[in-house]
């Protein structure tokens, strides 16, 4: 079992490093990082116990209180995904069982370390209370999280798939733990096997979080690569048509002119150059500086509110070359120009909705959309749904409920 735990600790460390270094980290990802840190800490404590503690009853019964943090963190991540304006600290009471478990855990350790004759009896009651509380809460709240995620998040939302899978794994852990508790409470060898399975499932949870962030990071790059191939094909087709048109003009001139046509360049189909892959013309450091200037201009001047904003206009407003701006957005930010602009517009609408809701003022969503720079209701609704996973009306209802609560 120690080898399984050691692998889990390594996976948790790797996941934390990858999540912290990710350029695509969101506020909700901080909750995923906290979840992975808790799993790593849990496995580290278990590794120490199984490596250095010889008391058989302690090995068999000493539960780790950190398990009380898993479901609350996953629940908060789901709420943050549903409503980006949600403040996780407003649900601090979800960690009340964790705080009580920590007090009981360290009290039990102190009693055992003191060599009290009632130490093992204290351990028995600590294990019984925490075990039944933890298993029942895992089963009940995992099902609740799955139900809410399926109901509130769209099927195209990648976070929904992650949340449902993680909740299912925690549900499986609760079911396995319940089976062990009911049918083999005193069989240490079988309990040892069951614990190994549970630790393996915790490793699966960490690996799933890593693969989720890897997929979220890689997919935009793949889509951008596909877009480049499409543009290359279009450019090559256009070039072919122009060349064919030029050949036709030359043939026509030859028919009606007795003088030879001089200084005319004819490109045969065999000699047509193949389209080459576009090369980056800026270093990453230079693109980062351009991105900072673009973001500063967006936040200070709110250029996105101009419904006629184009990449040419933005380049002039920020004193940047057009192809440098295009290079930065496509290859450094991995977003097309209008996606970059519309995300600022959506954020503007979200901020105004929150502000008006807090002030108990009437809200005209379409008016805010035009104010943000959108020039059609359909495009606003489509982009809003893509960014927030909710329609504008659904989002307004969510933040209205949060304000009331």
Q: Which H or E element spans position 103?
A: helix 96-113
Q: Which overall architecture, per CATH, does domain 2-219 show?
A: Up-down Bundle (1.20)
Q: Whole-angstrom Cα distance, residue 264 to residue 250? A: 8
Would you state the pLDDT for residue 24? 60
* Residue pointed to by tokens 């539960």: 63
CB 81 within 8 A of CB 154: no
Would you state the pLDDT for residue 204? 93
Would you state the pLDDT for residue 35? 93
CATH class of the structural domain 284-404: mainly alpha
CB 62 within 8 A of CB 125: no
pLDDT in tens, the chain (405 residues): 678 888 888 888 888 888 787 666 677 888 999 999 999 999 999 888 888 888 777 777 678 889 999 999 999 999 988 887 788 888 899 999 999 999 999 998 898 888 878 888 888 898 889 888 999 999 999 999 999 999 888 877 788 899 999 999 999 998 988 887 777 665 444 466 777 888 899 999 999 888 887 665 444 444 444 444 444 444 444 444 444 444 444 343 343 444 444 444 444 444 445 444 444 567 878 888 898 889 888 888 889 999 889 999 999 999 999 888 988 888 888 888 988 999 899 999 998 888 888 888 888 888 899 999 998 888 898 888 888 888 888 888 888 877 665
CB 88 within 8 A of CB 28: no
Would you state the pLDDT for residue 345? 92
Pair of tokens at residue 263: 């200084």
Q: Under the phi-then-psi rule, with left for phi > 0, alpha for psi from -120 to 50, and beta for the rest, what region is 212?
A: alpha
DSSP structure class, residue 68: G
Would you state the pLDDT for residue 25? 66
At residue 318, φ and ψ (nearest 5 deg) are -105, 5
Longest pairwise C-alpha distance within the chain: 119
Would you state the pLDDT for residue 397? 86
DSSP structure class, residue 157: -
Burial grade of 96 (CB within 10 A; 0-12, 13-18, 19 or more): exposed
Q: Whole-angstrom Cα distance, residue 96 to residue 335? A: 42
CB 383 within 8 A of CB 345: yes
Q: Whole-angstrom Cα distance, residue 32 to residue 54? A: 34
Pair of tokens at residue 224: 């951008």
Instruction: Using alpha carbons only, give the angle 135, 140, 141 rounded to the nearest 5 degrees.
Output: 100
Would you state the pLDDT for residue 400? 82
Q: Of 27, 90, 104, 40, whose CA–CA distance to 70 is shortest?
A: 40
Signed CA dihedral, 308, 346, 387, 327: sign only: positive
CB 335 within 8 A of CB 308: no
CB 170 within 8 A of CB 142: yes
Q: Whole-angstrom Cα distance, residue 24 to residue 190? A: 43
Residues 73/76/82/86 CA torsion (nearest 10 deg):
-140
- What are the boundaries of each domain within the chain? 2-219, 224-271, 284-404
């Amino acid at each position: 079992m120690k080898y399984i735990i050691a692998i889990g600790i390594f996976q948790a460390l790797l996941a934390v490093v990858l999540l912290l270094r990710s350029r695509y980290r969101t506020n909700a990802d901080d909750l995923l990082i906290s979840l992975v840190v808790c799993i790593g800490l849990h496995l580290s404590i278990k590794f120490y116990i199984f490596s250095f503690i010889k008391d058989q009853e302690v090995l068999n019964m000493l539960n780790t209180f950190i398990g009380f943090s898993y479901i609350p963190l996953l629940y908060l991540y789901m709420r943050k995904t549903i409503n980006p304006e949600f403040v996780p600290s407003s649900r601090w009471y979800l960690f009340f069982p964790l705080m009580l478990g920590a007090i009981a855990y360290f009290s039990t350790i102190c009693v055992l370390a003191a060599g009290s004759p009632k130490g093992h009896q204290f351990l028995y009651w600590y294990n019984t209370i925490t075990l039944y509380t933890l298993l029942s809460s895992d089963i009940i709240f995992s099902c609740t999280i799955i139900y809410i995620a399926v109901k509130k998040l769209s099927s195209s939302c990648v976070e929904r798939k992650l949340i449902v899978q993680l909740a299912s794994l925690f549900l499986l852990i609760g079911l396995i733990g319940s089976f062990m508790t009911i049918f083999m409470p005193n069989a240490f060898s079988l309990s040892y096997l069951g614990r190994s399975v549970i630790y393996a499932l915790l490793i699966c949870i960490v690996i799933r979080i890593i693969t989720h962030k890897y997929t979220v990071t890689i997919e935009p790059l793949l889509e951008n690569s596909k877009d480049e191939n499409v543009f290359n094909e279009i450019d090559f087709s256009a070039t072919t048509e122009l060349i064919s048109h030029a050949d036709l003009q030359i043939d026509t001139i030859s028919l009606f002119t007795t003088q030879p046509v001089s200084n005319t360049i004819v490109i045969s189909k065999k000699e047509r150059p193949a389209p080459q892959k576009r090369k980056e013309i800026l270093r990453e450091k230079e693109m980062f500086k351009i991105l900072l200037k673009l973001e500063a201009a967006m936040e200070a001047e709110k250029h996105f509110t101009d419904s006629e904003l184009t990449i040419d206009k933005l380049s002039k407003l920020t004193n940047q070359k057009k192809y440098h701006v295009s290079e930065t957005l496509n290859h450094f930010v991995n977003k097309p120009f209008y996606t970059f602009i519309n995300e600022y517009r959506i954020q503007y609408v979200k901020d105004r909705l929150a502000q008006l809701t807090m002030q108990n003022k009437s809200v005209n969503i379409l008016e805010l959309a035009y104010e943000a720079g959108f020039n059609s209701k359909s495009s606003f609704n489509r982009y809003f749904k893509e960014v927030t996973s909710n329609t504008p009306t659904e989002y307004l209802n969510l933040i209205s409920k949060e304000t009331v609560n």
